[in-house]
Structure 1
Amino acid sequence: MIRMRSFSSAAWIILLVVLGLLFFWNVIFRLCVAIAKRSGHYLPCPVGFVWLTDNPLRRLWMRSVLAWIGLRLGELVLELGAGAGVFTVEAAHRVGPDGKVIALDLQPGMTVRVKTRVREAGLTNVEVLTADAANLPIRDGAIDRAFLVATLSEIPDQHRALTELRRVLKTGGVLSVTEEFLDPDYPLRSKTRARVEATGFILQQSFGNFWVYTLNFGNVRRQQ
């Protein structure tokens, strides 16, 4: 009985800690993000909080999201907003040795983590770049598929970033945008669709639910 009570107490403590962290992440930090945006400041996930996005809970739906994104063998893929590389390694496995993933993030602290993760996985088909979404260091029409996970709403000039994505994507290439409710910047599906289609992309597929969804857009019309 003593052991059972001890285990029960420990379980409750862990549960309360987890709930407390979720409360902070979804309420307090969400409020801070909203206030910052009103002041014209957009906040990417701080490097010090990376453990909140790189955890077993998030990995529960990672494979489903990657399946929705639809990565194919041999593709040249751009992961915009790679963060700590939670999706990078699995994405690299899915495109295979004849494909390549360009993992790009604005924060040097994040790209260092991605490089470490890629090196530990023994991958040779990943290129890690530190760059701004508004000025992608990639040639026109080079990318088969680009994907963003909980990233688009963190970008200050989203129209400029989406225009850049149209530039680097091939004609007929795919832009995949995934949003997660646990992200403080989470937008509704309808808002994401309107935002992306305003730059000329065409919605082709929609997956998921309120908590996690993925929208795949076609780069149907090339800019002149």
Structure 2
Amino acid sequence: MSHHPRRFWRVVPPWTWGGVMLALVAWMTSLWAATVPLQETNVAPGINKEYTRTNLNVERWVQNFERESREIYAQRDKIVETLQLKRGMRVADVGAGSGLFTVLFAHAVGPRGKVYAVDIAPAFLRHIEQRSREEGLKQIQTVLGTERSTQLPANSVELVFVCDTYHHFEYPQSTLASIHRALRSKGKLVVIDFHRVPGKSPDWILNHVRAGQEVFAREIEAAGFQRLPDPPQEFLKENYLMVFVKRAR
């Protein structure tokens, strides 16, 4: 019997190496695809230009966002009630703007909870930070997002709230991928946006919002989420509310 160790390349027939390499490449490709969206084109060029200006007039936008004639503001308490937030929860308000819902969420989750206020406008985040200090809401943390990412930590939240902001996502698949990473197992994504129905919706919505509810729903499902039955929302007329749960990839 030979005492020389049997070499690996003598054990594995040479013709199998091609299959091994193909399998390895396929595995690496699938792993990459599960974490990084394919190269996207900007679906809403320039839609956020106003918010990223260095001289953004925050007070004007606060007055615009927090007025009784705006359905979302008028129905804010019912919206928060629909979310069924619990004390100690960790949530994210993506597209936080004036901090309207950020503050409401902070009161709902309590001092042991956590609320991430995410926005691409530094001026809005400074406003939220000041408001948090004035109200003693230490559970609020601001996060400067980008056009492609929420910049939320991985597995950091149980619920992500996106209100009248999804249509502002310039790179929705990349942004949704960052939300998927941020959500914990079975975490929920709640999206509120404008009804966009040709022939019924006002011209400003038809010109400003790029697509309707079902198109947005399909995009979100394609990003690794499962749509749940819509909760009761008779209090909303101009907007709709959808709930999704994170699927394991």
Q: TM-score surpassing 0.5?
A: yes
- 2:216 and 2:43 map into 1 onto residues whose CA distance is 19
User: Whose radius of gyration is greater, 1 or 2?
Assistant: 2
- Summarize the alignment of residues 20-39 of structure 1 with structure 2, pairs less than 5 Å apart: none
- 1:157 and 1:84 map into 2 onto residues whose CA distance is 23
- 1:39 and 1:100 map into 2 onto residues whose CA distance is 31
Aligned to 2:213: 189
- 1:83 and 1:135 map into 2 onto residues whose CA distance is 16
- 1:187 and 1:68 map into 2 onto residues whose CA distance is 25
Aligned to 2:222: 198
1:211 aligns with 2:238: yes
- 2:109 and 2:125 map into 1 onto residues whose CA distance is 20
Stretch moving more, 66-75 or 143-152: 66-75
Task: Give the 3 Å change call, closer, same or farther, for CA 205–73 of structure 1 in structure 2.
Answer: farther
Aligned mate of 1:43, from 48, 59, 62: 48
Aligned mate of 1:102, from 116, 119, 141: 116
1:174 aligns with 2:179: no
CA contact 2:66–2:100 (8 Å) conserved in 1: yes
Task: Give the 3 Å change call, closer, same or farther, for CA 82–44 of structure 1 in structure 2.
Answer: farther
User: How many Å apart are 1:185 and its aligned residue?
Assistant: 2.7
Identity between Structure 1 and Structure 2 (%):
22
- 1:156 and 1:44 map into 2 onto residues whose CA distance is 11
1:139 aligns with 2:153: yes
User: Normalising to structure 1: TM-score of the pair?
Assistant: 0.74
Uncovered stretches (5+) of structure 1, i.e. residues with no partner: 1-36
- 2:243 and 2:151 map into 1 onto residues whose CA distance is 23
C-alpha distance after superposition, 1:20-76 (max 9, x if no partner): xxxxxxxxxxxxxxxxx8883223664435121122333211112222233222111
Uncovered stretches (5+) of structure 2, i.e. residues with no partner: 1-41, 196-203
User: Normalising to structure 2: TM-score of the pair?
Assistant: 0.67
Matched to 2:68, the amino acid is: P
Stretch moving more, 84-93 or 67-76: 67-76
Aligned to 2:86: 72
The number of aligned residues is: 186
Aligned to 2:247: 220
Task: Give the 3 Å change call, closer, same or farther, for CA 203–89 of structure 1 in structure 2.
Answer: same
CA contact 1:178–1:213 (8 Å) conserved in 2: yes
Task: Give the 3 Å change call, closer, same or farther, for CA 200–55 of structure 1 in structure 2.
Answer: same
- 2:115 and 2:186 map into 1 onto residues whose CA distance is 18
Stretch moving more, 73-82 or 55-64: 55-64
Root-mean-square deviation (Å): 2.4
Aligned mate of 1:87, from 98, 101, 123: 101
C-alpha distance after superposition, 1:160-198 (max 9, x if no partner): 101111111111000111114586437532222112111
Aligned mate of 1:150, from 164, 177, 188: 164
Aligned to 1:3: none
- 2:243 and 2:164 map into 1 onto residues whose CA distance is 14
